[in-house]
Structure 1
C-alpha cells in the first residue's frame, strides 16, 4: 500500500475526493430548481464540445471529455479533504 505523509493512504484521499466531487455535483443538480439554493449549481464546463472520432477501418474509437466544476462540487472537495484530515 502506498502511504502518504503521516502514514495516510493516498488511495483513501483519491476515493474521498472522487466521492466529494460526485456528491457535490449531485447536490448541485438537485438544488438547481430551488430558488434559494440555485447558486450551488453555478459553475463552468470545459472540455471537448464535439467528440473526437478515430476511424481505423475495423475499429472506431470515440474520445470525449467534459468537466463541469460547480460551487457544490468545490464544497464537496473541501469537505472530503477535511474528512481525510480527521481520519
Structure 2
C-alpha cells in the first residue's frame, strides 16, 4: 500500500488539515494560553463581485484566513501523507 500515493490523497489530507486547524484555532481563541493559535491573516475579496445577466445573477467571493493552527494542520497532514 505504500506505493499507492497520489496527488488527490495529499490534496484531501491538506484540506482536512486546514479545516481541522482552523476549527481548533477558533476553539482556542478564547483560551488564554492558546489564543495565539488563532492569530493569522485574512485575504480575499471583501465585497463579493456580482454579475447580473438579466435572468441569472452570479455572485463571486472568496476569503481565506490563514492561522497558526491551520499551518500546523497542513504540516501534520503532509507528515501523515509521508508516513502512510
Q: TM-score, normalised by structure 1?
A: 0.92
The alignment yields a C-alpha RMSD, in angstroms, of 0.9
Which residues of structure 1 form unaligned runs of 5+? 1-5
Task: Name the counterpart of 1:3.
Answer: none
Return the TM-score normalized by structure 2. 0.95
Matched residue count = 82
Q: 2:55 aligns to what?
A: 58
Residue 31 of structure 1 is matched in structure 2 by 28
Alignment pair present for 1:72 and 2:69: yes
Residue ranges of structure 2 left out of the alignment (5+ in a row): none
Q: 1:76 Cα deviation (Å)?
A: 0.1
